[in-house]
Structure 1
Amino acid sequence: MKNYHFIAIGGAVMHNLALALVQKGYQVTGSDDEIYEPSRSRLDRAGILPHSYGWFPEKITTQLDGIILGMHARIDNPELVRARELGIPVYSFPEFIYNQSKNKKRVVIAGSHGKTSITSIILHVLKDQGVNFDYLVGAQIEGFDLMVRLSDAPIIIIEGDEYLTSPLDRRPKFFHYQHDIALLSGIAWDHFNVFPDFEEYKDQFRQFINLTPEKGEIIYCEADPLVKDAIEKSTVKGKKNPYHAHPATIKNGKTFLTVQENKIPIHLFGEHNLQNLQGAKKICEALGLTESQFYDSIQTFKGAAKRLELIKSQEDRALYRDFAHAPSKLKATASAVKNQFPDRQLIAVQELHTYSSLNKDFLPNYAGSMDSADQAIIYLNPHAVALKKLELMDEETLRKGFERNDLKLFTDSQALKSYLEGLNYANSNLLLMSSGNYDNMDLQGILIKFEEK
């Protein structure tokens, strides 16, 4: 029986990997200084919730087959220091995933946006078609208990992140997976704290493209000029396979894929999602599925959590939430909702939560990103700004950055909650966009507004 210890076990992906290894029959332990829900309850049910918060070097013994190191851990973590003293193998998350999938066909989905959505579509279609596969995805998906699966399946689908690998390895995660097939959805500046220079950020994707083997394949969104340019200038000898948004029509707020003379109803909508769908289709075809199989399965796909997720709707209104935080994601998401329901007022609320979005120097990248909204609202948590040691921006600064003179700013979640509860949502959509949670804002009073007739 393999025996692994997780340093920073409470993270979204880390705890899912821990649970996947328990399912595989491995012995798993872990530590963390904080563990929030739902990680806490899920680890507890599996019997691997740490008894106490903190770091305990005595947990690190030569009986371990390896350490799995989370990005949240510091380089001077006492458990990490002890493991290195004892010569115990230390794996970053992506290194461990590769180690477990060396003999599989590895499919990696990369890009500044759309990764989770594309990966989720592929997973749904493969499962619906009875294909045996492993996976790593960055969100909870309907029909899947975990965000990670490791088995004896011949294929693994991996959402490949360009963020740093671990405290010991400052390279992007997606370098480690050594893909056979890759997809690149788009390039738009993100992770300003790690890549303050846009050229350096773009270079990570150039290197990723060039990792495609001679017998491999790179599937890419030709509609993105940066992606197109990077592919055309690459030294890749493998197959280059471009895609655009899938043709579609909208009728009464519903999207239909145009397939020859047929109209196929889907739950997804928006130009960005139609690009994601077409990219996923290309991957499924590369894995041997037919167009017919893809179209049969895509009709039942309802989306990943917090990816244009419909929370509540009535005949004349809807409440959506989305993970959008980077400028390109914010613009695409707001535009998608407005284009889908052009006759409804769009109230868009964006929480600036990441280091990039809270940084005054990065703010000009948000210019025009909320133009599709009839009412644009920004939420800033002063505590989050202080933790990142940044300057708290005022309303005027944000209005200039977003190029939106009527933009409203809230710095207190209760005040935002009261404001949203007081609005009339007749013939309106509310779009909540954040990689955070608005300081644990209770949505119950807002949800009621979308239950009214």
Structure 2
Amino acid sequence: MTQTALQNIHLIAIGGSIMHNLALALHQKGLNITGSDDEIFEPAQSRLKKENLLPAQEGWFPEKITSSLDAVIVGMHARADNPELLKAQELGLPVYSFPEFIYEQSRNKQRVVIGGSHGKTSITSIIMHVLKHHNRLFDYAVGAQLEGFDNMVKLTEDAPIIIIEGDEYLSSPIQRVPKFHLYHHHIGVISGISWDHINVFPDPDTYRKQFRIFTDMTPKAGVIIYNQDDEQVMRVCVPRNPDVKFIGYSAHEHEVYNGVTYLTTKKENIPLQIFGEHNLQNISAAKEVCKQLGIKAQGFYEALTTFKGAARRLELLGSQGSVRVYKDFAHAPSKVMATTQAIKEQFPERKLVACLELHTFSSLNKDFLPQYQNALDAADMPIVYFNPKTLEHKRMPALAAADITAAFDNEKIQVFTDSQTLADYLKSLRWENQNLLLMSSGTYNNMDLGELATAILS
């Protein structure tokens, strides 16, 4: 399948975070794009509407699937018995998962795939920022909105490289293999391995095996760049294939001065707008990738000084005097621990209020909860919030505050189950010389975090 052979494409589950960005990217190439979904939230709704791609009504409509379509792309949000998917299969139309389609569109490009339980969005973002700074031509697919990039997906005819954030979650309801197995990388990165997605990978060994498969898929003359400070990664990235180049990395040398992190290099100290041990590892990973793509250290550091981070990754909501409010996408245990430690180490003289929303299937699972042991220990005031309705929606057994205190192994933890009560409590605290960190892959039951930050800082 060539890019130019396609003209009419339908997306099942067009409202998804990455799927609606793919729809926008293909529409901007001049292709005829249609789609369906049974729920579409912001910002996808407004962005699709602006380009006249928003479905007239929510739901699934098999009549939209006709023999005039050149391809159907199905998102993970759809089910295997989706009526539009069944109609496409009945008509014998080409049906692709998101990663399959990206691979087909990049067969003739050098494919760089960044995998790992954590850090992959940030590493991908840094690489993209550096390449753009140096006016390099490249395509991409990344899981967060980045400053300077209109979409999270770009597919062109002429870019020789594509940078892909390689998610280990399943590809589609009919193709239950990890996304990052389907991109067929030339350069692969493994940033860290920490058991996640318990609903798909029932134990740590099964989860870790997916990264071993990814490593073993590296072709001759390919490259694997791996975090040599991560014990689980080291179990996977054993250089068993002499035809593959293995490059290990560690956190970049640095120092912190007056709340600013500086990279220490042979020539000078480089000030950063991001911080934290995990980000210093991410920087080293991105630097090794950029080196493989022909960008030398000096050019990398030059671009890095203007990198502000990816959206929702240690994002500063506001600051006033000795108070800062951050939000972060952290939800897996390793991410929660890394982010909490990062802020405490960056501002050691300030108290830290760290608030985590349990929102994912794994994080709300009683069998998985013990993975969070000590994850919030760096916080002076650790808080955990969950919405009982989320458990009901996911058809999971109820959780008690005692379950959470025991799992985190932290007697200081306060547990909230009502978002308004939590917001009122945070606003009531004395905020001199304290930072607030809000972590979640959810929305705290649609809490206005910007308004909360404003109230705290005022």
TM-score by length of 2: 0.97
**Matched residues in 2 for 1:40 and 1:285: separation?**
39
Corresponding residue for 2:64? Answer: 59
Matches within 5 A, 1:397-408: 397-408=403-414
Deviations 1:281-316 (A, max 9, x none): 000010001111100000000000111111101220
Q: Is 1:168 equivalent to 2:180 in the alignment?
A: no
Distance, in Å, in 1 between the alignment partners of 2:367 and 2:174 is 28
Partner of 1:357: helix, strand, or coil? coil
* Alpha carbons 1:272, 1:332 under 8 Å: kept: yes
SS of the residue 2:10 aligns to? strand
Partner-residue secondary structure (3-state), 2:219: coil
Equivalence for 2:115: 110
C-alpha separation between the residues in 2 aligned to 1:315 and 1:104?
48
C-alpha separation between the residues in 2 aligned to 1:222 and 1:236?
19
CA distance in 1, matches of 2:414, 2:398: 15
| Maintained 8 Å contact 2:225/2:288 | yes
Are 1:349 and 1:377, in contact at CA under 8 Å, matched by a contact in 2? yes
Q: What is the RMSD of the two structures over their aligned residues, measured on CA atoms?
A: 1.0
Offset of residue 275 of structure 1: 0.1
1:314–1:450 Cα contact (<8 Å) kept: no
Long gaps (5+) in structure 1: none
Task: Return the offset for 1:450.
Answer: 4.7
Q: Give percent identity, aligned residues only.
A: 56
1:244-303 Cα offsets, whole Å, 9 max, x none, are 000000001000000025111011111110000010000001000111110000000000
Where does residue 150 of structure 1 map in the other structure? Answer: 155
Report the alpha carbon displacement of residue 236 of structure 1 after superposing the two structures with TM: 6.1
Structure 1 ranges of 4+ moved more than 6 A? none
Unmatched 5+ stretches in structure 2: 1-5
| Aligned partner of 2:235 among 229, 235, 239 | 229
2:60 equivalent to 1:36: no
Aligned pair in 2 of structure 1 residues 180, 445: CA closer, same or farther (>3 Å)? closer
Match of 1:354 in 2: 360
Select which of 431, 434, 438 maps to 2:440. Answer: 434
Q: CA deviation at 1:444?
A: 4.6
Distance 2:373 2:16 in 1: 32
1:314 matched to 2:320: yes
Cα deviation for residue 53 of structure 1 reads: 0.7
Measure how far apart 1:233 and its partner are: 6.1
Does the aligned pair in 2 maintain the 1:209–1:236 contact within 8 Å?
Answer: no
Q: 1:247 to 1:382 in 2, by over 3 A?
A: same
Residue from 74, 78, 83 that aligns with 1:73: 78
1:11 corresponds to which residue?
16
3-state SS of paired residue (1:304): coil
2:251 aligned partner: 245
Q: Aligned-pair distance for 1:442?
A: 2.0
Pairing of 1:37-436 with structure 2 (within 5 A): 37-151=42-156, 152-232=158-238, 234-235=240-241, 237-436=243-442
Q: Could you report, residue by residue, the CA deviation over 1:150-180 in whole angstroms, capped at 9, with x for unpaired residues? A: 0020000000010001000110000100000
Partner secondary structure for residue 355 of structure 1 = coil
| Equivalent AA in structure 2 for residue 395 of structure 1 | A
Change beyond 3 A, Cα 1:236–1:172: farther
Q: Which residue identity does 1:351 align to in structure 2? A: E
3-state SS of paired residue (2:256): strand
User: Does the 8 A contact of 1:318 with 1:450 survive in 2?
Assistant: no
Write the letter of the residue equivalent to 1:78: P
- Residue-pair matches, total: 452
1:24 to 15, 24, 29: 29
Kept in 2: contact 1:192–1:355 (CA 8 A): yes
Give, in whole Å, the separation in 2 of the partners of 1:200 and 1:171.
12
Structure 1 length as normaliser, TM-score? 0.98
CA distance in 2, matches of 1:121, 1:398: 35
- Secondary structure in 1 aligned to 2:287? helix
Are the equivalent residues in 1 in contact too, given 2:239–2:246 (CA < 8 A)?
no
Q: Which amino acid aligns with 1:396?
A: A
Checking the alignment, whether the CA contact within 8 Å between 2:219 and 2:244 is kept in structure 1 is yes
Displacement of 1:229 in angstroms is 2.0
